[in-house]
Each structure stands twice: as structure tokens, then as C-alpha cells.
Structure 1
Amino acid sequence: MNVLNFDFTSQPIADIKKEVICGVVGSGNLEVLVSPLADSDNGNSSKFIIDTSVTGFDHIWEAVLQDFSSRYAVGGLEFKVNDMGATPAVVSLRLSQAINILEEESHG
């Protein structure tokens, strides 16, 4: 397994206190776990920890995560991703789904 760590600057998300899980760990798919950052003083920072079965695609992960962090207000969140060879489109989809679930639960 290959573990990648990325930090990005992003707009802060509204006050989120719960955790969310989205997706499944399986061939060609991934699981996303989202939680508030332990360091709540840095609301403009987002952290991504990627546990992947695939090596050599660090630059692709960085590009997909940078794009995601630019499109969504994810400052103050930590994303743990358990990947089993998902394509960049699936990565973007699962991350977006996790944010949508988080926002729905915080407003519901």
C-alpha cells in the first residue's frame, strides 16, 4: 500500500462537527471518510490522507484533489481515502458525494 499526504488551502466550510463515510473499498472504487480537522484553528486548510493500492500516480492525485479543494469549501476538514484503483472521475465523484452528504446532514 502507498500512503500519500496532501494539504491544500480552501474556503472554510460551515461549522461541521460530525463525520461522514461514503463509498466502498473494492476493485476500481474507494471509500472516503470526512471529519473535522483536529487543529480547528486552521479553518482554511484541508488535509487528505490517501491509502492506495496503486503507485506512481501521486501527481494525478494531487491534481484531482487540488481541483476538488478549489471547487468546494473544504477548509477545516480531513479526508481519509481508502483506494482500490479508482479512476480520477470516481475519485471526484466520491469526494463530491461525501461533501453533499456532510452538507445535507448539517442542515437536516
Structure 2
Amino acid sequence: METLNFHFENGLRHIPAQPELVGVVSSGNLEVLVENAALQGGCAIEIKTAANGFAAIWEAVVTDFNQRWQLSDARISINDMGATPAVVRLRLDQAIETLLEHAS
């Protein structure tokens, strides 16, 4: 298992207080947990992955995610069992969309 950590500053979009969990860790999939956290406007993303050696790809995917959503005071935990970048993007977007939908 490899653990990767990314942090982004100056987010613009606050998320609701309740956490949101989407996905299931199983063969070729991943789960994403999004939580509100006091991070001084930042967004922290921790990835635990069974696929070692893909840090550059993970960085590209989460940087793109951050540019699209610009979350503030958000902690995101990802447990991965070898999902493709497209599945990662889908699950991340699904988590935020579900979280915001439940807040409405």
C-alpha cells in the first residue's frame, strides 16, 4: 500500500458539515469520504492505494479536481484498489455532488 497526501490552499466552496461516503472498495474500485474540517480554507486529500508508483497520475487527477471544485475546509480520504483515473474522477465528483445535493 502506498499513501499519498496532497494539500490545496485558498478554496472558495465550503462544504456542508455532514460527511459523505461514496463507492465501495473492491476489485478495481475505490471509496471516497469527504468531510468538513478546519483547514484554514484548504483542502487535504489522502490517498491509500494498492497501485504503487502512480503518484504523478494521482497528482494530475486531484489537481484537476481541485481546480474544478475549489473546496474550502475539506478533508478527502480515498481508499483505492486500482481504479482508473476516469473512475477516480467520477467518484470524486459523485461525492461532492451528493454532498451538496443532501445539503439543499
TM-score by length of 1: 0.90
Q: State how far apart, in whole Å, the 1-side matches of 2:53 and 2:79 are.
A: 16
SS at match of 1:5: strand
**Equivalent of 2:63, from 61, 66, 74?**
66
Quick one: distance in 1 between partners of 2:15 and 2:76? 16
CA distance, structure 2, for counterparts of residue 53 and residue 19 of structure 1? 24
Structure 2 CA distance, aligned partners of 1:68 and 1:10? 14
Task: Report the equivalent of 2:33.
Answer: 33
Distance 2:78 2:14 in 1: 22
4+ runs deviating over 6 angstroms: none
In 2, are the aligned partners of 1:13 and 1:74 still within 8 Å (CA)?
A: yes
Say if 2:9 is the partner of 1:9: yes
User: Identity, % of aligned pairs?
Assistant: 45
Tell me, yes or no, if the aligned pair for 1:29 and 1:85 is still in contact at 8 Å.
Answer: yes
- How big is the shift at 1:101? 0.5
When the two structures are aligned, how many residues end up with a matched partner?
104
RMSD: 1.2
Letter in 2 for 1:95: L
Structure 1 unaligned blocks of 5 or more: none
Where do 5+ consecutive residues of structure 2 fail to align? none
Aligned partner letter, 2:95: A
